[in-house]
Amino acid sequence: MDTAESLIADVAIDCPGRDRYSYRVPDALADVAVGDCVSVPFGPRSLRGFVVAVERRAPPAGVTLRDLAGRRPDVRVPPHLLGLIQWGARYYRCSLGEFLAGAVPAPVREGTRMDAEISVAPVAGFAAKVTARQRAVLDALAGETLALADACERAGTDRAMFDRLAKLGAVTVSEHRAVQEVRLDARAEDHELTDEQRIAVGEVSQALTEGIQRTYLLYGITGSGKTLVYLELAQQVIASGKQVLLLLPEIGLTPQLAARVRRRFARVAVWHSGFTDGERASLWREVAAGAFDLVVGTRSALFAPLPKPGLIIVDEEHEQSYKQESVPRYHARDLAVVYGGQLGVPVVLGSATPSLESVHNARTGRYAVLTLKKRPLGGRLPTPLVVDMREECHAQKKQAHLSRELIDRLRGVQERGEQAIVLLNRRGWSPVVSCTDCGHALSCTHCDISLTYHKGAARLRCHYCGDQKPMPPVCPACQQPTLGTFGLGTEQLAATLAAEVPSLKILRVDADTVAERQGHAKLFQAFSEGAADCLVGTQMVAKGLDFPRVTLVGILCADRALSVPDFRAAERTYQLVAQVSGRAGRGAKSGTVVVQAFDVAAPSIRCALDHRPKEFVDAEMDLRRDYGYPPFSGLVRFVWTSESQADVQLVAAEHGRLIASAASGDVVLGPNPAGLAFLKGQHRWHALIKSSSRGAAQGFLDRLDALGGLPRSRKVHVSVDVDPYVTS
């Protein structure tokens, strides 16, 4: 047995449970360092992991360590990022290896390489003398820019020929990184800052200069110019030789912001999900090598390996898409605040409708508040009109989906050459298909969910598991040809609008119409170029868009989300209504919002429309405090899933007893069947633990760990979600 000291690496491996496993470092890898991606033998398998410690020590008595098997060249997680990930794994209760696997993209870990893309472009106006052969090659290009392989094929030649032509100045041969196109545009924004913007910039700027760490809540109404504040601050950070991280809820939904950032700065990486594996791996390595000054992207961009982050900005900080709903179940805004603290750099959280958590942090002094109350272009916040759909149906003597008010105004918008946005947060033709005779409703075989009818595709689809089938000709229960569709989705809405206002050019934006890669960007571009008068869509149309010609916004079924059993239902409704109304009147002209609802008195809708944020927030805070919900508590949710209903019930009950014994002043709700008790073929039970604060919730989890944690079951999967956003 070898008891002599040797070099030992502790490695985090992507599996639940232990954070680190020890390996002997062979001489060939003696320069291995913390953050390196390595391959290790693990049982009979070879797995990928990350080195989290290297030291010379004696292995534990009686243990023979296995050797590190290899190392990826050029993949090293920077120490500050590793620090964040360690914090995250502890807080969100997964293993360090699981968190690393979620934070470092698989193609990076797997070492995927991208074929260098080489293109050949003829130089316009080139007139110098060339040989006849060279002339023939140039003619073959016909003035087009081609990929090298295509150019070679077309001209019947090889790369050497193009290199010679490049020397002569007849063509350019460029090897470009497929992952970024630098588009510098002379139209870069040169607005003078408004007074409010100047004050906001000044405060953070001073913190930057003096090296003060602080989190700022940039609370600016829709259209108040938050982006310009971000850009000014980014400029200062970049000038000081550091990098900026700009997080957005969904890149496809905020193409304009990404475009504005790229117009202003040259070395920008856009971090989105549309990359090929090779592109993603290559982008990661380039970011780590310091090739970019600014990374803009969705929640996972927080883990971009910037060498020296100097500022973190989280735009639309209230958006739920910052929460990841699979392991690691982190919240990118919350982690951004932690990261800022660890790095000692400012964090700016921007929103027109801040989350109650952030407002609470501002009110208790944890965050500094910067406010923007005016729209620089002079447009005022839109005038609201609420239509009571009960009265409307009565007046129209039918089950009306569209109010006369909205239709009249849409006509007016079109006549004046303006534009409108109509929001309905439900896609497809109809959300319910049922028998008008026996009442049987069609639901998914794998989920406890009704099927949605999609007319264009002529399919019934489950929006949860994606299962689909054709519409049956007769009711499966009573065999009568009496199936009917009920309720309204965006597909039907667009058709109904087209029937009501035949001359109105309509563009529909929902998950069905944007299915193809980067689809949103194209649709929004078309709309901003005036290809349609009216954008009809799901919540996708609510976010961050800036179309100056939009003067009318319609919101259908505004109160529908309020019936969802979730303590954030009112907050979400408020945010959606305020955000989508904020799309109107962003240019010089003011706008109108027409809201259709059955519960027209709901405070979340009224306050959003009447621009009374404080009233809504105060009332909602009181409710949260009374019922013990965040921001006045810390939540933990457990979910048990299994194909067997009996097993899931048994294990949940057994785990429930352990949970109860770890609780100490914490309220335990459940275990009981989850709101969606059957999903994707799995039976589901859940439990919600309410502690007095986030810290107290961590205390509860520590006590549960001290009891040995929840015992593994082969048949039932259990997940833990810290600060859950889905609670039913």
Angle between helices 356-363 and 613-627 (to 10 degrees): 90
**Residue 546 contact partner, candidates ligand ADP, Zn ion, none, CB within 5 to 8 A by sort of partner:** ligand ADP
Cβ distance to ligand ADP smaller for residue 582 or 673: 582
> Using the rule CB under 6 A, is 353 a contact of ligand ADP?
no
Closest CA to 634 of 596, 588, 691: 691
Closest CA to 567 of 728, 333, 332: 728
Which residue of 78, 278, 376, 519 would you call a contact of ligand ADP, by CB under 6 A?
376
Residues 578-617 that bind ligand ADP (CB under 6 A): 586
Residues 539-558 that bind ligand ADP (CB under 6 A): 546
> Using the rule CB under 6 A, is 227 a contact of ligand ADP?
yes
> Using the rule CB under 6 A, is 403 a contact of ligand ADP?
no
Beta pairing class for 294-297 and 268-271: parallel
676 alpha-carbon distance from chain centroid:
23
**Nearest distance, CB of residue 643 and Zn ion, angstroms:** 14
Residues 435-474 that bind Zn ion (CB under 5 A): 444, 446-447, 462, 464-465, 467
> Using the rule CB under 6 A, is 380 a contact of ligand ADP?
no
Strand, helix or coil for residue 164: helix
Question: Any idea what DSSP says for residue 331?
Answer: B
Alpha helix positions (H), 289-396: 332-343, 356-363, 389-396
How far apart (Å, rounded) are the C-alpha atoms in residues 11 and 96?
9
Beta pairing class for 45-57 and 6-13: antiparallel
Stretches 62-70, 122-130, 225-233, 674-682: which one binds ligand ADP (CB under 6 A)? 225-233
What does the buried/exposed string (b/e) look like for 230-250 if buried means 16 or more CB atoms within 10 Å of the residue's CB?
bbbbbbbbbeeebbbbbbbbb
Beta pairing class for 70-76 and 432-435: unpaired
**Residue 376 contact partner, candidates Zn ion, ligand ADP, none, CB within 5 to 8 A by sort of partner:** ligand ADP
CB 453 within 8 A of CB 429: yes
How far apart (Å, rounded) are the C-alpha atoms in residues 401 and 388?
11
CA dihedral 514, 517, 519, 520 (to 10 degrees): 90
**Nearest distance, CB of residue 260 and ligand ADP, angstroms:** 8
Cβ distance to ligand ADP smaller for residue 285 or 586: 586
Q: Residue 337 to residues 332, 346, 367, 645: CA-CA distances in angstroms?
A: 9, 9, 10, 41
**Nearest distance, CB of residue 197 and ligand ADP, angstroms:** 6
**Nearest distance, CB of residue 198 and ligand ADP, angstroms:** 9
**Residue 611 contact partner, candidates Zn ion, ligand ADP, none, CB within 5 to 8 A by sort of partner:** none
Q: What is the 3-state secondary structure (H, E, C) of 273-300?
A: CCCCHHHHHHHHHHHHCCCCCEEEECHH
> Using the rule CB under 6 A, is 223 a contact of ligand ADP?
yes
How far apart (Å, rounded) are the C-alpha atoms in residues 101 and 13?
8
> Using the rule CB under 6 A, is 377 a contact of ligand ADP?
yes
Cβ distance to Zn ion smaller for residue 369 or 465: 465
Binding-site string for ligand ADP from residue 175 to residue 194, where x marks contact by CB under 6 A and - marks none: ----------------xxxx
Cβ distance to ligand ADP smaller for residue 401 or 543: 543
**Residue 98 contact partner, candidates ligand ADP, Zn ion, none, CB within 5 to 8 A by sort of partner:** none
> Using the rule CB under 5 A, is 523 a contact of Zn ion?
no
CB 33 within 8 A of CB 2: no
**Residue 446 contact partner, candidates ligand ADP, Zn ion, none, CB within 5 to 8 A by sort of partner:** Zn ion
How far apart (Å, rounded) are the C-alpha atoms in residues 382 and 591?
5
Cβ distance to ligand ADP smaller for residue 586 or 694: 586
**Residue 227 contact partner, candidates ligand ADP, Zn ion, none, CB within 5 to 8 A by sort of partner:** ligand ADP
Place of tokens 């850009």: 231
Q: What is the DSSP string of 705-716?
A: HHTT-SPP-SS-
Q: Which residue number has the CB closest to ligand ADP?
A: 225
Stretches 126-134, 216-224, 264-272, 445-453: which one binds ligand ADP (CB under 6 A)? 216-224
- Spatial CB neighbours of 125, under 8 Å, sequence gap ≥ 6: none
How far apart (Å, rounded) are the C-alpha atoms in residues 622 and 200?
30
> Using the rule CB under 6 A, is 255 a contact of ligand ADP?
no
- Spatial CB neighbours of 388, under 8 Å, sequence gap ≥ 6: 597, 598, 600
> Using the rule CB under 6 A, is 222 a contact of ligand ADP?
yes
Residues 306-325 that bind ligand ADP (CB under 6 A): none
**Nearest distance, CB of residue 448 and Zn ion, angstroms:** 9
φ and ψ at residue 629, rounded to 5 degrees = -110, 160
Number of Cβ within 10 Å of residue 143's Cβ equals: 9
CB 689 within 8 A of CB 661: no
How far apart (Å, rounded) are the C-alpha atoms in residues 704 and 661?
8
- Spatial CB neighbours of 135, under 8 Å, sequence gap ≥ 6: none
Stretches 226-234, 239-247, 359-367, 390-398: which one binds ligand ADP (CB under 6 A)? 226-234
Strand, helix or coil for residue 420: strand
Q: Residue 133 to residues 127, 141, 172: CA-CA distances in angstroms?
A: 15, 13, 18
**Residue 210 contact partner, candidates Zn ion, ligand ADP, none, CB within 5 to 8 A by sort of partner:** none
Cβ distance to Zn ion smaller for residue 261 or 462: 462
Q: How many residues bind ligand ADP (CB under 6 A)?
A: 17
**Nearest distance, CB of residue 186 and ligand ADP, angstroms:** 16
Which residue of 226, 272, 454, 637 would you call a contact of ligand ADP, by CB under 6 A?
226
> Using the rule CB under 6 A, is 225 a contact of ligand ADP?
yes
Cβ distance to ligand ADP smaller for residue 37 or 253: 253
Which residue of 35, 107, 220, 699 would you call a contact of ligand ADP, by CB under 6 A?
220
**Nearest distance, CB of residue 183 and ligand ADP, angstroms:** 17
Stretches 121-129, 223-231, 535-543, 706-714: which one binds ligand ADP (CB under 6 A)? 223-231
φ and ψ at residue 352, rounded to 5 degrees = -90, -20
**Residue 34 contact partner, candidates ligand ADP, Zn ion, none, CB within 5 to 8 A by sort of partner:** none
Cβ distance to ligand ADP smaller for residue 377 or 495: 377
Cβ distance to ligand ADP smaller for residue 76 or 375: 375
How far apart (Å, rounded) are the C-alpha atoms in residues 576 and 524?
19
**Nearest distance, CB of residue 568 and Zn ion, angstroms:** 24
- Return the ∠ at Cα 164 (arms to 159 and 170), rounded to 5°: 105
How far apart (Å, rounded) are the C-alpha atoms in residues 457 and 624?
43
**Nearest distance, CB of residue 487 and Zn ion, angstroms:** 18
Q: Which residues bind Zn ion (CB under 5 A)?
A: 444, 446-447, 462, 464-465, 467
Residue numbers at the binding site for ligand ADP (CB under 6 A): 191-194, 197, 220, 222-228, 376-377, 546, 586
